[in-house]
Structure formats: C-alpha cells, structure tokens
A and B are shown apart, each in its own frame.
Chain A
Amino acid sequence: MRGNSGLRRQRLAEGETPSLPGMRKNSAFWLQCLLGLALVALVVLVFRTTQSNLELLGVQSGFDFLWKKAGFSISQHLIPYTEDSPIWVALAVAILNTLLLAVFCIFLASLLGLAVGIGRLSSNWLVSRLSLAYLELFRNIPVLLQIFFWYYVALRALPSLESSIFITDYLVLNNRGLYFPFIEFANGFAISPPVPGRFAYEGGFYLMPEFLALWIGLSLYNGSYISEIVRSGFQSVARGQWEAGAALGLKPATVLRRVALPQALRAVLPPLTTVYMNMFKATSLAAAIAYPEIVSVFVGTVNNLAGRPVEVMAVSLVFYAGVSFLVAWLMGRWNKRVTMRGQ
C-alpha cells in the first residue's frame, strides 16, 4: 500500500466504511482473521466441553425430541395445536405468539411515539407538557415493573365474568381477557361471537390478560423512546424546509407530512431499528407473566419436559438472532432507499 500517514483523508466510495486511522488495511485484515479464529476456537472448546460433560453425566442429547408428542396444552395458538401435536408444532405456536406480540407492540409503540414526538414539538403548551410527562413517566421506570403493574394491578381490577364490561355488544372485557367475534373455520365461514359459558366466554377469539399487559407495557415504554427519536428527527430537518413549505402556502399539517416527515425519516430509521429490535427481544419478558411465547413454552416447559437444555437454548438463540438480523436487514434496506444521495 502507498502512503505512510494514517491521518491521510480517505476518499470513500459509496458504501465503503472508513478504516481506523493508523491502521493499514492489511494489518486490519489479519487482526480480524485472528479474532475470528479465536472465536471459532472458543466455540469449539465450549461445545466439546459441554458434550463431554453431558456424556460424563449420562445426560442425553440431540434434536430428536422435536418430533416427539408435546403432551401439554398452550392456551393461545394461532395455528391448529393439540396436546398430540409434535413438539416442533408447539415451537411454531410459541414463535407465532412471540411474533404476534412483537408486531402488535411495534405497531402501537410507533403510533404512540409518532404522536408524542410530534406533540413534544407542538406550540400548544398543554399538548407539549402532556407529551413530556408521558416521556418522563414511562421512560424512567423499568419495563418489567411496568408489565407487572399492568398485569397485577391494572388488569386485576377488571370485573369477573358476571359483571363483564361490554365495550360494544360483541366486544367484551373481563378478568379473563378481551373477547371479540372471530371467523369460525369449523363449519364453513361463519362469524362466531363470544357467548358466556359457565366459567368464561366461549367462541370468538380473545386476547389473554397476559397479552394485554405485555402489549400495553412494552408499547408505552418503547413508545417513549420512539417519541424522542421522532422529535430529534423532526428537529434535524433544517428550519428553512419548514419555512419554505409555509412560504409555498402549504398547510402546517401538509408541511409536516409531505416536507418534514420524509426528511426526518432519514435521521429516524437507524435508531428506530434499534428500538424495534429491543422491543422484539423484550417480548421474552412474557415468561414472567405466563404468556405462552418462545421463552415460556420452549425454554420453560419443553426444556423441562425433554431435559435437553443445550439444544433448547440453541434453538431459541437462533430464533432471536435470526429475526433480529432480518429486522435489521429490512430496516437497513428501507434506510438505504430514503437516504439522500451524496450525504
């Protein structure tokens, strides 16, 4: 390589990352090789120690348990599942429950974050103060405590079956969950409304109190972070842009939507990706309050049932890492699309 000064300014082609000053490209390459090798050696070592320890203890290993009959029930399943289903179906149920929760949370937290973030910038004193109050309240309390609060305090205040709250005729709320009509596949397509049974409403579909507590808790907490990201995003849009929009005679809402928002998005997406991924991983807190997601069902029940902790943990880790990578990749692509050329 030419050049002996690490401080030399590099002209970077688009997409190329700057290398550390003072480090030649070659030495960086070898350093990374070395680190990579050390990592692989460590993994192999841990793997072999585990294997020999398990053998020594007479503990069985392998993934064959995934095809055995599950033998336990899961109260919320988005795909057909019974106790006779194999364990891999239970895993799929748990994964879908995790994803359902994550999608609901990401949706609600984004809405909240957007509304509050814009609210913070509002010239209306009440709106901006309320937004600030929301931010400070929910950002400063650990999310697990918030989830416990919603589960143990707020939702426990709900009435029992006999005195259920009817939000509408077909939307029923009580301490067993939120019931609503749902499409019944059993005999053709029919809408089945929830009807009271001896112990609970039957028919229709319902969101468990555990789901509601997690949904509210995670969304409020992460919404507060998103609101800050949104606010900083809008503030990063040059003042002139707002003024230019106004000068063109656009209504303030239109300026916000058509001028400021697309530009703010550029600043917002990278940190937003982090929040989304954190939120996705935080769904594992569900294990604390009995919502049947992957940690609860797989790392809890299945692990205890099959006695294969290493395999169970491996599957769970791969799932979380895989989805996180996917989210990061998708957000990265979106980010690339909205990035201003030349910046």
Chain B
Amino acid sequence: MRVVPGLALCALAVLPAGGASADTLSDVLERGMLRCAVIEASPGFSSIDANGRRYGFDIDNCRTVAAAVLGDADAIEYVPINPNTAFTTLQSGGVDVFPGGATWTFLRDTSMGLDYTGAYLYAGQGFVVRRASGVSSVPDLEGATICVAQGTTNEQNLADYFRARRMKYSIVTFADVERGLNAYLADRCDAFTTEVFSLAGRIVALRNPGEHRILGDVISKEPFSGLVRQGDPRWRDIVFWAFNSRLAAEEFGLTTSNVEEMRATTEDAEIRRFLGVEGGFGRQLGLRDDWAYQIVAQVGNYGEVFARHFEPLGLERGLNALWRDGGLMIAMPYR
C-alpha cells in the first residue's frame, strides 16, 4: 500500500525536459548528501523522537544507502513527501531514492518510469476492528463499512477480496491513512484496513489500544521495495546491494557491536570480501571498499533494524525472517 503516484505528476507539464540526471551517484557524491524521500508520521516507519531526530524503519533505509555511498549514515537531506507526490518527486529528480514502502506491483514497475530495487519487507493487508463489535476474522465483515486510504493497493485488494467471496460491504475512501483511521475511530466505519506493519504502529500509538483488535488474517501480499529512477542501472545496483548487505550481515552474524572485531579477525573469504578487506568489491559499484562495513557499523544488520523498530510494536519477523529460519529473506552472495 502506502504509496501512490500522484496528482503532482502534472507538475511535469511545467518542468523543463531533462530535469532528471542519469548519473545519480555522481550527483550524490558531489553534493555530499543523499536526498531521501520520507513519508512522515508513520509509527514504526518514520517518526520524530523527543530530541527532534528522525527515527524509524524507513529512516534506517535512508541511512543504509547514505552509509554505503557516503560513509556517513547521517549525511541525508530528508525530503518529506506524501503518498500523492512520492512518485513524481522521484521522477522529476527531487530525491535520489524513495525507500519508504511502495508495494512492488506490475503496473507501477512497467508504466511509471521507475525501477524497484528489491523487496526489503514483506507485509500484508490487515484489518483493525473494535473489540466490542465481536468481529474475529475478515469473513465476519460481511455487510460492514470499511474505511480505507485512497489510491493505494489496499483499495483494490479490498474490492478483489470481497468480490471473490460475493460479500457485501460498503467502502469509505479517504485521501490518506491518517484521515481514514480517524474516521474509523469516530465510528464512521466498522473496520479500517491498511498493511499490518503501519496498522500495528498506529494502533499501539492510540490512547486505548486495548479497545481495538487487529484481525489475524491478511488479504494480500505487500512486498515493499525501494524505488529509484529508471535508466540509471549503477544507482539501482548500489541501492539493491546496500539493502542486501544488511541481510548478508545477519546471515554472517555481523552486528553493529562485533563488526569491527570481525573485520580484523575473520578468516572467512566471503565475509572478508563483504567487509572490503579483500576483493575490491566496493570499486565495482563505484563506492569505497568499506561500503558494507559502514552499513553494518552505523545502521546494523537487518535483524537489528527490524527489532529496533517493529518489536516494540509487537510485530514478529514472520515472512521477514531469514530463509534459514523459515522466512523469505535471503542475501545474494558476495562473490
């Protein structure tokens, strides 16, 4: 769900042609800052802590790319966007990368001039209902009124699910998740639906989370992937391998706290190539050889990042566990 191409694509009409550069890496290195698009106020993914620092899973995605490219996870210029402007901002060169949870779908990949960089989170569309309603599974929602955010994959998943089962329902479509959820909380709807990760984050943040219940079943798969502009293969490779490095680090058992020691002592050839001790892999990407080391040292491995942001919300790894633990996450090899 979460992100949609938008209205503001019309801005294209007034932009001069060729606004988007084909060599993002050079631009970022020259600037010394990564311009990263973030959607704000989404607990778990992107929020601001008491000290005014950005914090969340999406933020760590930005930091991962910055650490790899610039060696400094904080060299980021955050560009707040909303779902309606996300794709346009990226298309027109306003940001270098959008790692903020766009569901990877066929039409988006083929028709919008953007490239996906590989799924980094597998979510599904879930529902929240009031406990008092007695609803315990999605089929119980026959005849219910459901609030949803507009233009998301959620709206279509919902239609597909209910239509396939010939279940009646009534939909109220809001411009964004925040308004949709508020309408649900005001009893305009019997249920609110969005993907479970952001749903959990928002319900935990409520004053009385105990009154609500997130149903156990999900009705869709929502593979989230980073997005970059089409036509810049090297930059796409960099973002892909930056995300891949966090998974590899978890497979290798590398963490923020032990990576420095491991770099000095490990005998494992793949880990040595990964950390830039040998092989010169960074240069293949146009980066420094310690690019992956910087990711692990400054951001952490995938498991650490997941635990940091989603465990406090009561979310389990599930599909996002490593393949050897029964999940879908698998790191491409470094050889």
Q: List the interface of chain A (C-beta within 8 A of B).
A: 46, 49-50, 52-54, 56-60, 71-75, 82-84, 152, 156, 160, 175-176, 197-200, 202, 208-210, 287-288, 290, 292, 296-297, 299-301, 303-305, 307, 309-310, 313
Contacts and interface: CB of A to CB of B under 8 A. Distances in A.
Contacts of B229: 57
Contacts, number: 144
Contacts of B188: 156, 175-176, 209
Contacts of B169: 73
A73 B171 contact: yes
Interface stretch (B149-157, B197-205, B255-263): B149-157
Contact of A197 (B9, B20, B111, B143): B143
Contact of A49 (B16, B163, B172, B179): B16
B173 interface: yes
B130 to A, nearest CB: 11
Nearest to A210: B172
A304 B159 contact: no
Given A73-B171, A304-B151, A57 B16 contact: no
Contacts of A58: 112-113, 230-231
Interface of B: 4-10, 12-20, 84, 87-88, 91, 107-108, 111-113, 142-145, 150-152, 155-156, 158-160, 162-163, 169-175, 179, 183, 186-188, 190, 229-231
A57 B6 contact: no
A304 B6 contact: yes
B173 A296 contact: yes
A46 B173 contact: no
Given A53-B17, A310-B13, A199 B172 contact: no
Given A59-B91, A310-B12, A304 B143 contact: no
Contacts of A290: 172-175, 179, 183
A300 B190 CA distance: 23
Contacts of A310: 9-10, 12-13
A53 B15 contact: yes
A72 B112 contact: no
Given A57-B12, A304-B152, 12 more contacts: A49-B14, A57-B91, A58-B113, A83-B160, A83-B163, A156-B186, A175-B188, A199-B145, A307-B5, A307-B108, A309-B6, A313-B7
Nearest to B115: A58
16 contacts: A46-B13, A50-B13, A57-B112, A59-B12, A59-B111, A72-B156, A73-B169, A84-B163, A202-B143, A290-B175, A290-B179, A301-B173, A304-B6, A309-B5, A310-B10, A310-B13
Given A57-B20, A58-B230, A307-B5, A73 B175 contact: no
Nearest to B8: A309
A276 to B, nearest CB: 27
Contacts of B108: 307
Top 7 closest pairs, chain A to chain B, by CB: A304-B151, A57-B113, A58-B113, A309-B9, A304-B4, A50-B13, A83-B159
B206 to A, nearest CB: 17
A121 to B, nearest CB: 42
A300 B173 contact: yes
Contact of A56 (B7, B18, B84, B155): B18
A71 B159 contact: yes
Contacts of A198: 142-144
With a 10 A CB-CB cut-off, give which of A53, A71, A292, A296 has the most chain B CB atoms. Answer: A53
B145 A309 contact: no
